[in-house]
Amino acid sequence: MSEQIEKVKCLIIGSGPAGYTAAIYASRANLYPVLYQGTQPGGQLTTTNEVENFPGYPDGVTGPEMMMQFQAQAQRFGTDVRDGWITKVDFSGDIHKVWVNDEKEIHCETVIISTGASAKYLGLESEQKYLKLGGGVSACAVCDGFFYRGQEVVLVGAGDSACEEAHYLSNICKKVTMLVRRDVFRASKIMAERVKKTENIEILYNMNTVEVLGDGQVVTGVKAKSNKTGEVIDIPATGFFVAIGHTPNTKIFKDYLNLDETGYIVNVPDSSKTNVPGVFVSGDAADHVYRQAVTAAGTGCMAALDAERYLAAKHG
């Protein structure tokens, strides 16, 4: 016998700052939200070490600790937080259908999408090979840096993430070589300066990664080529960290929602509304500009308020 279809007033997909803030507001407004955490409970912040720019934490807080507090706050007001991955949606009708782990079907009056974004890789064959082998390629210094303590690593990227990760690794590793593809950082000045001042970080400008070198099992180095002089160098390293940006996690919505050319959900300006009534978006899934925990939290609040107003208008 098939499981009875569950009906919920407000389903929240994702457990980063956007999802949990939506959950806090939605539960306090008696929308009885159900929140599915996805494959990375707590979202991207769980891979961040120190968060120093979220208001209310004058001494900073670790990403995982902050997310535990977000979760506790949402649960305090009754949010039903569940493990599970939303694998399919059908937004063609008035009631929005979603499937959890390809099995459980839920019918939702409102859906708040807070699925965030995922790390990008270079796409080199050698990079993917050692990534799959678990042999020394990572997109998360905070998750994996510990394995390289006292060793030499290479990191590619020049944004705030790359600087944050390089700085984090410099406290664990003997040496961090940063490969910057242009002759400038994209990162904010303060983050770039911190990296430049760190003794065991060597910055190589105008460098492209050609190949991740290895012995078939683990990484042993990185081949890089100067896009100015053509010089090719081999850098000895046991770890290769990629910090070159993110892709929004919006694939399952593409048949129903308007996405921009890079896959970010297009919201109605000044709101969290999507092109489908009753489906709202918050956080990095729709934001390629600000991408901060605090802006994600702000849009989570907007999504819950918009969902509440939508339901009020629908039911009178």
- Which residues have a catalytic role annotated? 140, 143-144
Instruction: Count Cα atoms within 13 angstroms, Cβ side, for 165.
Output: 32
Q: Min. distance of Cβ 164 from ligand NDP in angstroms? A: 5
Indicate which single residue of 291, 294, 298, 305 sits in contact with ligand NDP (rule: CB under 6 A).
291
Span near ligand NDP by CB under 6 A; candidates 1-9, 34-42, 102-110, 154-162: 154-162
Span near ligand NDP by CB under 6 A; candidates 67-75, 89-97, 156-164, 170-178: 156-164
Span near ligand NDP by CB under 6 A; candidates 65-73, 152-160, 223-231, 297-305: 152-160
Query: Which positions from 56 to 95 touch ligand NDP by CB under 6 A, shown as an x/- string?
Result: ----------------------------------------
Q: Hey, what amino acid is at 29?
A: A
Indicate which single residue of 30, 53, 101, 171 sits in contact with ligand NDP (rule: CB under 6 A).
53
Task: State yes or no: residue 287 binds ligand NDP (CB under 6 A).
Answer: no
Q: Min. distance of Cβ 316 from ligand NDP in angstroms? A: 42
Indicate which single residue of 64, 236, 245, 298 sits in contact with ligand NDP (rule: CB under 6 A).
245
SS (H, E, C) the chain: CCCCCEEEEEEEECCCHHHHHHHHHHHHCCCCCEEECCCCCCHHHHHCCEECCCCCCCCCEEHHHHHHHHHHHHHHCCCEEECCCEEEEECCCCCEEEEECCCEEEEEEEEEECCCEEECCCCCHHHHHHHHHCCCEECCHHHHHHHHCCCEEEEECCCHHHHHHHHHHHCCCCEEEEECCCCCCCCCHHHHHHHHHCCCEEEECCEEEEEEEECCCCEEEEEEEECCCCCEEEEECCEEEECCCEEECCHHHCCCCCECCCCCECCCCCCCECCCCCEEECHHHCCCCCCCHHHHHHHHHHHHHHHHHHHHHHHC
Q: Min. distance of Cβ 91 from ligand NDP in angstroms? A: 28
Q: How many residues bind ligand NDP (CB under 6 A)?
A: 17
Q: Min. distance of Cβ 194 from ligand NDP in angstroms? A: 11
Task: State yes or no: residue 156 binds ligand NDP (CB under 6 A).
Answer: yes
Indicate which single residue of 168, 186, 265, 285 sits in contact with ligand NDP (rule: CB under 6 A).
186
Task: State yes or no: residue 298 binds ligand NDP (CB under 6 A).
Answer: no
Task: State yes or no: residue 183 binds ligand NDP (CB under 6 A).
Answer: no
Tokens 């493990």 locate to 83
Task: State yes or no: residue 143 binds ligand NDP (CB under 6 A).
Answer: no
The dihedral through the CA atoms of 296, 297, 301, 304 has a sign that is positive
Q: Min. distance of Cβ 246 from ligand NDP in angstroms? A: 6
Span near ligand NDP by CB under 6 A; candidates 62-70, 157-165, 221-229, 230-238: 157-165
Q: Are 68 and 56 in contact (CB under 8 A)?
A: no
What gap in Å lies between CA 74 and CA 79, rounded to an integer? 6
Task: State yes or no: residue 158 binds ligand NDP (CB under 6 A).
Answer: yes
Q: Min. distance of Cβ 244 from ligand NDP in angstroms? A: 4
Tell me which residues touch ligand NDP (CB under 6 A): 53, 122, 156-162, 164, 181-182, 186, 244-246, 291
